[in-house]
Amino acid sequence: RQEQFRALRTVEPRTRDGQDVNLQMNAGLLVDLPQLVESGASGIGLFRTELQFMIASTMPKVDEQEKLYRNVLRQAGDRPVTFRTLDIGGDKVVPYFRSAEEENPALGWRAIRLSLDRPGLLRTQLRALLKAAAGVELKLMLPMVTEINELRLARELLNKEVRHLSRFGHQLPRKMQFGAMLEVPNLLWQLDELMEAVDFVSVGSNDLFQFMMAVDRGNSRVADRFDPLSRPFLRALRQIVEAAERAGTPLTLCGEIAGKPLSAMALLGIGFRSISMAPAAIGPVKSMLLSLDLGKLEESLLAAISDTESGKTVREFLTDFADTN
Ligand code: PEP
Ligand code: MG
């Protein structure tokens, strides 16, 4: 199987009925970069910048951050990289960044909340990213956004850094794209505003699922208790797709479900055309979509998702579809 998947890396990810799909990979360290070519991913849909912070014993300095980002961009070459700003707190512990013990760290002082409260930290990272991307495209996204206003505040900090760098004669990125991760259910009721506020949206389905189901993703007692392929969650994802289409905002999804062939199939069926996953998942997911009649799936999956009468779970529906088509 491994060999079969390797052989697919130069094959275009196009469904049997001719629809193109964008398959990107998730990464977090420079050692992940060779996987770009090996896996055949079209780019890095999620670069977890907190990894550098988590493996360091002291806070990485601005030039260390810049060096990493520059190397990542250089090694990625023509393939786009989406950098996520620091997502620390919650399950992502940074030992030297001592914050008070929290009773519910997943709901606590983390990600963009922490970044906005420690603007020096975020500005340092933004400066490192801007400098590393001088003359090329910079795509960045903010994690754990709850309110649109957080995006405005983050964008102001970005603009300040841009002005600062240009005042000192630094070359700026050729193009900038500013995105948000959709991980907090609160955004589901302000999708139109969200889509207007950013250049792209990436669904963090691990956290979105955790918060929708009120299930700690790291607690093995409950983590697998509910099915991400259940109707309510898929309906939420479908609403996101519809809002993105209405606004013409590029949409992608970078949680674990993108890397499992059956759930990836569900994502395509509800309208996602771009997903980002662990590099090892690219082969199996591509193999699935090459034989997929997406038009046919789309029609029947949307019906299955809204069908409340059916005794079949959506997972059963998808398994049957995969077996018979
Ligand atoms: C997610 O929440 O789905 C995600 C991609 O981010 P992380 O797993 O790093 O929280
Ligand atoms: Mg997340």
Complex prediction ipTM: 0.99
- The three-class DSSP label of residue 95 is coil
* CB neighbour list of residue 214: distance below 8 Å, 6 or more residues apart: none
Residue 96, pLDDT > 80, answer: yes
Indicate which atom in ligand 1 lies nearest the CA of residue 203: 3
**Which of 49, 113, 206 should be mutated for ligand 1, with most atoms under 8 A from CB?**
206
Indicate which atom in ligand 1 lies nearest the CA of residue 143: 6
Amino acid at position 272, single letter: F
Q: How confident is the model at residue 311 (pLDDT cuts 50, 70, 90)?
A: confident
pLDDT for the residue numbered 6 = 87
CA of 255 to the centre of ligand 1 (A): 5
Angle at 252 between CA 226 and CA 28, to 5 degrees: 85
Provide residues with CB under 6 Å of ligand 1.
Answer: 46, 48, 87, 183, 204-207, 254-255
Q: Which two tokens stand for residue 131?
A: 């400098």
Q: Which two tokens stand for residue 99?
A: 């914050």
Q: How confident is the model at residue 92 (pLDDT cuts 50, 70, 90)?
A: confident
Beta strands in 184-273 (DSSP E): 200-203, 251-253
What CA–CA distance (Å, rounded) separates 75 from 16? 32
CA atoms in the 13 A half-sphere facing the CB of 77: 7
Q: What is the DSSP string of 127-171?
A: HHHHHHTBTSEEEEEESS--SHHHHHHHHHHHHHHHHHHHHTTPP
Answer positive or negative: Cα dihedral of 38, 41, 181, 118: positive
* CB neighbour list of residue 79: distance below 8 Å, 6 or more residues apart: 36, 41, 42, 43, 44
Percent of the chain scored above 70 by pLDDT? 99
**Which of 29, 44, 48, 210 should be mutated for ligand 1, with most atoms under 8 A from CB?**
48
Indicate which atom in ligand 1 lies nearest the CA of residue 183: 2
CA of 49 to the centre of ligand 2 (A): 12
CA of 163 to the centre of ligand 1 (A): 31
φ, ψ dihedrals at 300, nearest 5°: -80, -30
**Which of 207, 211, 263 should be mutated for ligand 1, with most atoms under 8 A from CB?**
207
pLDDT for the residue numbered 156 = 98
CA of 88 to the centre of ligand 2 (A): 10
Q: Which ligand has an atom closest to residue 54 CA?
A: 1
Indicate which atom in ligand 1 lies nearest the CA of residue 46: 5
5 vs 67, residue with greater confidence: 67
265 vs 101, residue with greater confidence: 265
Residue 124, pLDDT > 90, answer: yes
pLDDT for the residue numbered 3 = 84
Residue 325, pLDDT > 90, answer: no
CA of 294 to the centre of ligand 2 (A): 28
- The three-class DSSP label of residue 41 is coil
CA of 150 to the centre of ligand 1 (A): 18
Q: Which ligand has an atom closest to residue 84 CA?
A: 1
Q: Which two tokens stand for residue 142?
A: 């903010």
Indicate which atom in ligand 1 lies nearest the CA of residue 50: 9
| Helix 119-132 × helix 62-76 angle, to 10° | 40
Exposed/middle/buried for residue 30 (C-beta within 10 Å: 0-12, 13-18, 19+): middle
Round to the nearest angstrom and report the end-to-end CA distance of the chain: 21
Residue 275, pLDDT > 80, answer: yes
CA of 205 to the centre of ligand 1 (A): 7
Q: Which two tokens stand for residue 226?
A: 């509910």
Closest by Cα among 203, 154, 204 to 178: 154
Residue 148, pLDDT > 90, answer: yes
Residue 270: CB atoms within 10 Å: 19
φ, ψ dihedrals at 150, nearest 5°: -60, -35
Indicate which atom in ligand 1 lies nearest the CA of residue 202: 5
228 vs 89, residue with greater confidence: 228
What CA–CA distance (Å, rounded) separates 130 from 124? 10
pLDDT for the residue numbered 185 = 98
Nearest CA to ligand 1 atom 6: 204
pTM of the model: 0.97
CA of 206 to the centre of ligand 1 (A): 5
Closest by Cα among 163, 82, 97 to 127: 163
What CA–CA distance (Å, rounded) separates 8 from 225? 34
